[in-house]
Chains A and B, each alone.
Chain A
C-alpha cells in the first residue's frame, strides 16, 4: 500500500492566522485506497488542515500535492478536473440553505455533467438511499432537517459524483450510534467497491477501530504519529495514551488489547 504514489502528500505545511501559527511544518501522506483517520484535540487545526488541502485556507509555506499534482501550480482547468474527483463533507454540513436536499445533491451533477433531469432525480434518490435518508427527505430544505439528517444529506452531496477521494470532517458527530455504525458500513463498502480514498477527521473511536486503515494524530501543529491502530495503541506519547487508553476508550477497546486486570 505504501508502494503506490500517495494521493495526498503534504510537506512542511505552515498555516497561521495573524501571528498565530496553527500548523507548523506538517507532513502527511495518504495512500490510494486508504481510509485515514485524522485525530487531534479540539482546536488543534484538523479542519484548518483539511481546508488547506482543499485550497480554502491560504498557507504560508509548504507543498500540497493531490493526485500527484501540486495544487499551487495547477492550471485552472486541471483544478476544476480535480474538484470533480473529490467529494467534501464539511463539519457543519454546508448544505445550500435555499435548495432542497435533492437539489443540493444535484448541484455538482448539474455543474459537471449533462444528465437528464429524470436521471438526476433518480440518482439523487439512490444517494439518499445509500446514506440512509428516507425518500421524503428529498424535497425538504436543510432548515427542516435534524442534525443527523444534515450530516447524511451532506454525505450524499459529497458522493454525488462518485468521487475517488472523499474528505470528511467529523462525519459521525451528531449521529446516533446506529446511524454512525451505518455510516461506517457505507464508507467501508464504498471503499471496497469503488476503491475510494478517504481522509476523515474524526473523534469517533468506533470509526477509528472499524474502518480506518491508518491513523494520524495532530498535536502542536505537527503529525506526531502516523500508522495503523496497533501502533497508536502501543505508542507512549502522552496524548495518544490519553486518547486511546482514556475512560472513553476503555469500553470499546478490543478485548485482546485490554490489559490483564
Chain B
C-alpha cells in the first residue's frame, strides 16, 4: 500500500532567537518505513544550536507506538545535547501514547568480540565434549534399553504388543514394495554388468555366481538396511522428537511410564524383526532380477539359472547376509531413538536431528558391514 506523499512523516523548524519550534506533519506511523526512520533521525538534529525547543503535534495526522517512540527518542536526544525540548499540541490520546511508548535507552548488551583462535579452540572443545557426551548417551541408552528388554522378558506383561504390531506393519509390510523394487533393479544391474564384463573372458556364465554371492552376502542386506534407515529411522526420530517437543515424553514419565519401554522398545523390536524379513524379500527380489536379466541377455532359462545358483552358493552365503540384519536394525533404531530424544524446542532442531539420524545410521550400517566382512573373512565362513 503506497501512502500519498503528503502523508509521509515530515517537520519544519521555526527559530526565534535561541528557541526553536519544530512543527511535525503527516502520519508518523511504522507504515512509512524508511521515511519514518529518516524523519526521526533528522528530527533529533533539527534544533541544534537552540537552547529550548518545542515539538508541536498539531499537524500529526496519525501516530503509532513506533512513531511515538522515535519522536520521544529524538526529544531525549535533544535533551542530551543540552536543548530543553518539550511536546506541545498533543491530543490526550497522543500524550498517553507518548508516555506509554516512552524511549528508554536500551541497555545494549554488546557481544564481546572474540578472536579467531579462541573461537576455534572453543569450538574444538565444545565438539569434543559433544562427542564424549554422545558416547555416554549411547552407552546409557543401551543400558536402559537392555534393562527394558530384560524387564519385558521377565515380566511379559510390560510388553506392548499392539504398538509392536502397529510398527511392524509400518516398518515391514508397508516397506515391501519399495524394498522389493530397488533390490530387483540392483539384481538386474549387477547381473547385466557381470554378463558384459565377464564375457570378455568368456566367462559370462559366472555372472550368475557373482549375482548370487554378491547379493546374498552384501548387497541385499545393505540396500535393505539403508532403505530402512531412510524410511523408518527418520520416522522414528521425527515421531520421538515431536513428542519430546510437545512434552508428551514428559507426560509419559510423570505417569510412571518409561518412554524407553513405551516408545523405544516396541519400535526397536519391530525393526529387529522387520529388517531380516525385508532382507529375505530383498534377496529374493534381487535374485529374481538377476534371473530375468540373464534370460534376456544370455538366454539362460530359469531352470539353468537355479541349478547354477545352487552350485554357486551355500547356506552359509545366505546366512552371512541375514545374520547382519538384526544388528543393523539395532544400530538404526538406537541412533534414531537417541537423535529423537535430543530434539529441543524448535522445528529447526527437529529437522537437524532427523538428518543426523539418517546420515549417521547409514554410515554406521556400512561401517558395521565392513566389520562383519573382516570378521567372516577371519573365520573363513
Question: Which residues from chain B contact A113 at a C-beta distance below 8 Å?
Answer: 30-31, 33-34
Pair count A-B, CB < 8 A: 78
Residue A235 CB within 8 A of the other chain: no
Type the 1/0 row for B82-109, where 1 means its CB is closer than 8 Å to any CB of A.
Answer: 0000000000011011001100101100
- A97 at interface, CB cutoff 8 A: yes
What is the chain B residue whose CB lies nearest that of A195?
B93
Complex: A143 Cα to B343 Cα, angstroms? 11
Secondary structure of the A contact surface, majority rule:
helix
Nearest Cβ on chain A to B241's Cβ, whole angstroms? 12
| Chain B 43-97 residues near chain A, CB threshold 8 A | 63-66, 69-70, 73, 93-94, 96-97
Contact among A109, A143, A189 for B96, CB-based, below 8 A: A189
- A234 near B: Cβ within 8 Å? no
- Docked Cα-Cα span, A115 to B31, in Å, equals 10
Residues A135 and B345 in contact in the complex (CB < 8 Å), given A143-B245, A161-B30, A193-B97: no
Q: Which residues of A contact B70 (CB under 8 A)?
A: 119
8 Å CB contact of B106 from A114, A116, A125: A125
Residue from B1, B29, B63 with most neighbouring chain A CB atoms (10 Å): B1
- Which residue from chain B places its CB closest to the CB of A82 in the assembled complex? B1
- Point out the residue from A143, A161, A190, A194 that lies within 8 Å of B345, measured CB to CB: A143
Contact between A126 and B65 (Cβ–Cβ < 8 Å)? Answer: yes
Give the interface SS of chain B, mostly helix, strand, loop or mixed. Answer: helix
B42 at the interface (CB under 8 A from A): no
A126 to B93, Cβ gap below 8 A? Answer: no
The 8 A CB mask of A180-203 against B (1 = contact, 0 = none) is 000000000110111000000000
Bound complex: CA A141 to CA B345 (Å): 8
Chain A contacts with B in 146-172, Cβ cutoff 8 A? 159, 161-162
Size class of the B contact interface (CB-based, 8 Å): 20 to 34
Report yes or no: A114 in contact with B33, Cβ–Cβ below 8 A.
yes
Is A122 an interface position by the 8 A CB rule?
yes
Q: Are A143 and B344 in contact (CB under 8 A)?
A: yes
The residue that A193 contacts in the complex, of B29, B100, B346, B347, with Cβ under 8 A, is B100
Could you show 18 A-B contacts with beta carbons less than 8 Å apart?
A97-B346, A109-B30, A113-B34, A119-B37, A123-B66, A123-B69, A126-B69, A130-B100, A142-B345, A143-B344, A144-B345, A161-B30, A189-B96, A189-B100, A192-B96, A193-B96, A193-B100, A194-B64
Q: A130-B100, A161-B30 are known contacts; what are 19 more A-B pairs with Cβ within 8 Å?
A: A96-B347, A97-B345, A98-B346, A113-B34, A115-B33, A122-B73, A123-B66, A130-B101, A135-B107, A143-B245, A162-B30, A162-B64, A162-B65, A189-B96, A189-B100, A193-B94, A193-B97, A193-B100, A194-B97
